[in-house]
Amino acid sequence: MKSNLSAWNYVKNNRKNVATMVVALALSFAAIYIVHMLLMTSVESFKPMALTQPKKMGFFDLSKATLDNAAVPGAEHASAQEKLDALVQALQEADGIDSVLRRQVLQTNYRAVVGSLSMKVPMYEADEIPAFLAHVGAKLTDGRMPREEGEMLVDEVVLRNMKAKIGDWYLPDAYGEVFTIVGTVKSEGMYCTGIPKGGTNNGWYHVVLYDADHSDLKEVLKKYGIETGAEDKIDDAATNREFFERDCVDLILNVVKAISAVVMFFLGVTMLIAYVSFLRNRMNEYCLYASIGYSRFEVYGLMMREMALIFLSGLVAGILAAIPICYVFRKAIIDPRGLVSPLWYPDKILEISILLLFIFGLMQVPLLLCIRGIKTIDMLED
């Protein structure tokens, strides 16, 4: 009676050939996963600034044309400046808005492995800073509060990302030796602030400290007769969410998909060529199985089990290789720069597994052609 054909026998007796294919699969998996992790560092690290920070603080700078056409209650026929003053007064009296002050603004620069994020930094007078910190939930963790012009408080994560320390200049490449870091704060939104010095700034804005219900400034301004246009500058939760999803998440995911497609294309071509050679070298073996009574279906099942064992081994080896390498990258590159990067991405593992399954499916073409070419010994003699 025939015994079942074992896929393990070939694997055990042909370790070199099998190992080559397993290593190719594992390295391809690891390469895609590691690139994904490094690029997603930008997404994960930018979330507090891009999504959390604007929930409590926003900025607007309205054009004269918008103010001329505005219908601010109680100032419908006033001048542009009078309408702006009336708007600010109404906003300050609204529930859920703590303050609306026209102040100078700087930028902070938070660099990820790929790309960087700049967010506005409001500049206040010394006696206004405690109220700002209380509103955004930031606590002083080191150093002291700003007292003089040009002194800055920087979020401790941002400070580490800048590779700076208390006493250093704040972004000297952008502002020169103007602003000095005197303390660090800690908060969910990674806020920074300081006292202005002269005219060194990135513009003047109305800085609005609000709650989450008022974090869409365009909608808030509509309630006061303001229809914003292209000339107006609005920086709030809605605009930052749109930017984050379009220019960060979507862009990075598209890059990862493109890299995955390229890697998988070359892997598929390589595996296809290697597998064709693999099958040719074993034709006599398959013919022998057919000659001693095994059906083509049973031989096909053997070949499928062998291929499944190779692909599954490659997937497992890829995961076991990728996670430790990602951990090393995180400890050596990501953590020291104040960045955030999870090691485990189940969705990406599933996506790569599906791509490998697609290559597995491509292998059916040479495999089925090989099955059709199987002949018994007597047919070979003829």
pLDDT tens-digit readout, 45-68: 999 999 999 999 999 999 999 999
CA dihedral 349, 352, 353, 356 (to 10 degrees): -160
183 and 121 in a common domain: yes
Q: What is the mean pLDDT of residues 236-251?
A: 90
For the stretch 273-286, pLDDT in tens is 877 777 777 777 77
Residue 230 lies in a domain: no
Whose tokens are 């953590």? That residue is 335
Q: How many domains does the chain have?
A: 2
Residue 173 lies in a domain: yes
Q: Does the structure show a pLDDT above 70 at 376?
A: no
Residue 83 lies in a domain: no
202 and 296 in a common domain: no
For 295-311, give the DSSP string. Answer: -HHHHHHHHHHHHHHHH
d(CA 125, CA 106): 14
Residue 159: per-residue pLDDT: 96
Q: What is the mean pLDDT of residues 323-347?
A: 91
Do 57 and 122 contact (CB within 8 A), yes or no? yes
Residue 4: per-residue pLDDT: 64
120 and 170 in a common domain: yes
Q: Which of 323, 314, 317 lies closest to 357 in space, CA to CA?
A: 314
Residue 189 lies in a domain: yes
**pLDDT tier at 255 (50, 70, 90 boundaries)?**
confident
Quick check: helix, strand or coil at residue 365?
Answer: helix
Domain boundary among 157, 182, 210: 210
Do 343 and 37 contact (CB within 8 A), yes or no? yes
Domain boundary among 165, 195, 210: 210
Q: Does the structure show a pLDDT above 60 at 360?
A: yes
Q: Which of 243, 205, 216 lies closest to 63 in space, CA to CA?
A: 205
Q: How many residues does the chain have?
A: 382
Residue 85 lies in a domain: no
DSSP state of 128: G
The residue among 182 and 300 whose pLDDT is bigger is 182
Q: Which of 99, 137, 109, 98 lies closest to 49 in space, CA to CA?
A: 109
Residue 367 lies in a domain: yes
pTM over 0.75: yes
Q: Does the structure show a pLDDT above 70 at 13?
A: no
**pLDDT tier at 289 (50, 70, 90 boundaries)?**
confident
> Tokens in use for 234?
């609005």
273 and 181 in a common domain: no
175 and 272 in a common domain: no
257 and 333 in a common domain: yes
Q: How many CB atoms lie within 10 A of CB 188?
A: 13
Quick check: helix, strand or coil at residue 285?
Answer: helix
180 and 115 in a common domain: yes
Q: What is the mean pLDDT of residues 141-163?
A: 96
Q: Which of 188, 182, 178 lies closest to 212 in space, CA to CA?
A: 188
Do 228 and 164 contact (CB within 8 A), yes or no? no
359 and 267 in a common domain: yes
Q: At what angle do helices 251-280 and 15-47 cross, to 10 degrees?
A: 180
Which contiguous run of DSSP H or E holds residue 65?
A: helix 64-68
Q: Which of 316, 356, 359, 319 lies closest to 36 in space, CA to CA?
A: 319
Q: Does the structure show a pLDDT above 50 at 321?
A: yes
Residue 174 lies in a domain: yes
* Percent with pLDDT over 90 in the chain: 56
343 and 258 in a common domain: yes
For the stretch 117-139, pLDDT in tens is 999 999 999 999 999 999 999 99
CA dihedral 258, 260, 265, 269 (to 10 degrees): 160
d(CA 168, CA 175): 13
364 and 293 in a common domain: yes
Q: Does the structure show a pLDDT above 50 at 380?
A: no
DSSP state of 116: E
Domain boundary among 210, 232, 258: 210
Q: Which of 287, 305, 373 lies closest to 4 in space, CA to CA?
A: 305
Residue 79: per-residue pLDDT: 93
Quick check: helix, strand or coil at residue 194?
Answer: strand
Residue 356 lies in a domain: yes
Strand 180-186 relative to strand 151-155: parallel, antiparallel, unpaired?
parallel
203 and 257 in a common domain: no
Q: Does the structure show a pLDDT above 90 at 163?
A: yes
Residue 382: per-residue pLDDT: 47
Domain range holding 321?
Answer: 7-46+246-381
Which contiguous run of DSSP H or E holds residue 11?
A: helix 7-13
